[in-house]
Amino acid sequence: MARDKLKGYQDSYAQRMQIYGLQRGIEGSKAKHINTGQYYREFYVKNESLKGEIEDLQEQKEATREEVRHVYDMKDEARDKFLAMDEYVRRKDNELTIIETKLRQAKQDYEPYKAQEELNRIHELFPMIKEKLRIAKLCPKIGFTIAAVKQLLRGITLSIASGKLYSSEYRQYFEVKDTQVKIEKEPDNSDKLRLAINGMDVVDWFRQKYKEFQKSIGINIKPMQNAIIRTKE
């Protein structure tokens, strides 16, 4: 068959087959027809090549899976380490809190002792300060104002025209009139001070006033005579 006529058949056939999606080959193409044996040989080579690529991809897939598994293992290990470290830190924080609490408590417990030690040292260096503090603590309980206590501590003698002083021992007030009050040293111990009322120790003065009160209401306390005092040997 002539080449031109064969080409015409191909053109007309391609036109009719266009509705089915068939396209005509390229005109003037240098492609050559291959026989069935060659086609299968080339197909086999391509198939073997694809098998190799598939195997490579499969190996890459397994390697990737191993890497992912390793990453997950590392993640779990890192999580466990983090949890262990977090637990360790929290435990140490608790221990530190306990120690700080004990230190604060120890400091609070020591403060009174420290203050007492300092006070004892002051009393040793200045013994009269302790005595003055004792007198200063006693005076307000008897009935003296803070201003009066300050004057007494400065060595001033207070003159009381009239008034009342309270005795916690006898739980009552006693009247004072034309009374002199001052702080002075004990007659028999120069390291001790006393609050003197009209030259008498305040304790003796209250005792005398109480006896006068008892006498005023008709109570006479006679001293015991011929009393026998027995002591255990």
pLDDT tens per residue across all 233 residues of the chain: 566 777 776 777 777 777 777 776 666 666 666 677 777 777 777 777 777 788 888 888 888 888 887 777 777 778 888 888 888 888 888 888 888 887 778 777 767 767 777 767 765 666 678 888 888 999 999 999 999 999 998 889 999 999 999 999 999 999 999 999 999 998 888 888 999 999 999 999 999 999 988 888 887 655 544 433 333 33
pLDDT at 181: 93
pLDDT at 231: 35
Report the alpha-carbon distance of residue 126 to residue 120 in Å, rounded.
10
Judge whether 195 and 181 are in contact, CB under 8 Å. yes
Q: What does the pLDDT look like over 87-136, one tens digit per residue? A: 888 888 888 888 888 777 877 776 776 777 776 776 566 667 888 888 89
Q: What does the pLDDT look like over 200-215, one tens digit per residue? A: 999 999 999 999 888 8
pLDDT at 34: 67
Q: How far is CA 148 from CA 100, 160, 168, 181, 225, in A?
A: 47, 11, 19, 10, 44
pLDDT at 52: 79
pLDDT at 166: 93
Amino acid in position 47:
N
Instruction: Enter the DSSP assignment of 229.
Output: -
pLDDT at 204: 93
pLDDT at 229: 34
Report the alpha-carbon distance of residue 204 to residue 162 in Å, rounded.
19
pLDDT at 129: 81
> Domain ranges in the chain?
37-125, 127-216
Report the alpha-carbon distance of residue 150 to residue 80 in Å, rounded.
73
